[in-house]
Amino acid sequence: MSKVNFSTVKKQYLPPLILILIYGLVASISQVEAKDRYRVGVASWSGYESSVQGFKDGMTEAGLIENININYTLGEIGSDKTLQEKVAKEFKRLGVDLVYSLTTPGTAIMKEVLPEQMPIVFSIVTYPADSGLIESFEYSGNNLVGTSNFIPLAHYISLLNLILPNAKSAAIFHRKGEPNSNIQAANMIRLLKRKGITTINLEPRDIEELKLMAKEQVSKVDLFITTTDTLLQAGGEAALIEISLQHKLPILSSNKSGIEQGSTFGPVADFYTLGKMAAKKASRILQEKLPPTRLKSELQDPPLFLANPNSLKQLGIVLSDTAKEKVILITP
């Protein structure tokens, strides 16, 4: 029997063994890194930069750092159903871990296209339950959960009493056929009727139609009221502001951006804050492996009472001492 030369064995076999161990260690580390690294799709509809920033900042606070252990895939921006269906299909193809989706119509598309097991965290959805996206705020019943920009309508009445206590008539604007703002307008009309304020319900399809409707009402009402829909948030409110200032007609707004641009006053939810609130839910879904049904959807409570000081001045509206204590004057 020939002798085995152990020095030869060491030279021939030990290095490969070490390499195998090294490769195994690297593979294990890579698997851990892959497991702890997440990809989130962002479907922001027409933009909403403050909401997206709030969401990212909230994720950072939860320990999910962009380009470290989380990556964001930003979908194309545009309030177009076909475009957003394309965005949803791309998220599906990529197999993202979670989707952050904004607005009622945008989230409805994500829900329809994405697999039922893919978590969707929404924001800037005014009526998530009434619009059919979830069963209730307490229990979604599906793969969705999020934050709503709904403001209890009693806040509108309180603010109206503070700033325009003698108002008797109003024109309410909301996009025709949009479930979110249709519900808001219907509920607002009922509440204002109890207060003795007559309302004109206006449902423009686009900005040009909105302008025509507004100009027809300037001599018939005491104020305009805007809703939290995509038409108003995508240029419609800016068109109303121009008419408002020209004809000295106040706007009771549902949108912070509208008040910053020149709408007179309003109780609003802050999109940045709602984004951070949504991030808390998203981080728990990813880090704690919780299904959306284990979490509750939320409102911002209390809302902000905001007014634009330049518009107040141009319209000749002077705040009472009580109003000054409760209203935040905001400028761009």
State pLDDT tens for residues 52-84. Answer: 999 999 999 999 999 999 999 999 999 899 999
The whole-number average pLDDT for the span 282-294 is 98
pLDDT of residue 28: 41
Contact of 146 with 297, CB cutoff 8 Å: yes
Closest by CA position to 52, among listed 140, 125, 122, 128 = 122
pTM score, whole prediction: 0.75
The whole-number average pLDDT for the span 254-263 is 92
| 146 confidence band (pLDDT: 50, 70, 90) | very high
Closest by CA position to 66, among listed 78, 81, 55, 76 = 55
Rounded Cα–Cα distance for residues 116 and 114 (Å): 6
Cite the DSSP H helix spans in the chain.
6-35, 49-61, 81-94, 104-113, 154-163, 179-194, 207-217, 230-231, 237-247, 256-261, 271-287, 309-315, 321-326
Contacts of 303 (CB under 8 A, 6+ apart): 151, 155, 267, 268, 269
- 193 has pLDDT over 90: yes
The whole-number average pLDDT for the span 29-45 is 74
- The tokens of 240 are what? 């109303």
Q: Is 319 helix (H, G, I), strand (E, B) or coil?
A: coil
pLDDT of residue 230: 84
Tally of CB atoms within 10 A around 312: 18
The two beta strands, 223-226 and 198-202, are unpaired
Exposure string over 9-41, b if 16+ CB within 10 A, otherwise e: eeeeeeeeeeeeeeeeeeeeeeeeeeeeebebb
Contact of 86 with 54, CB cutoff 8 Å: no
Contacts of 298 (CB under 8 A, 6+ apart): 137, 147, 148, 277
Length of the chain: 332
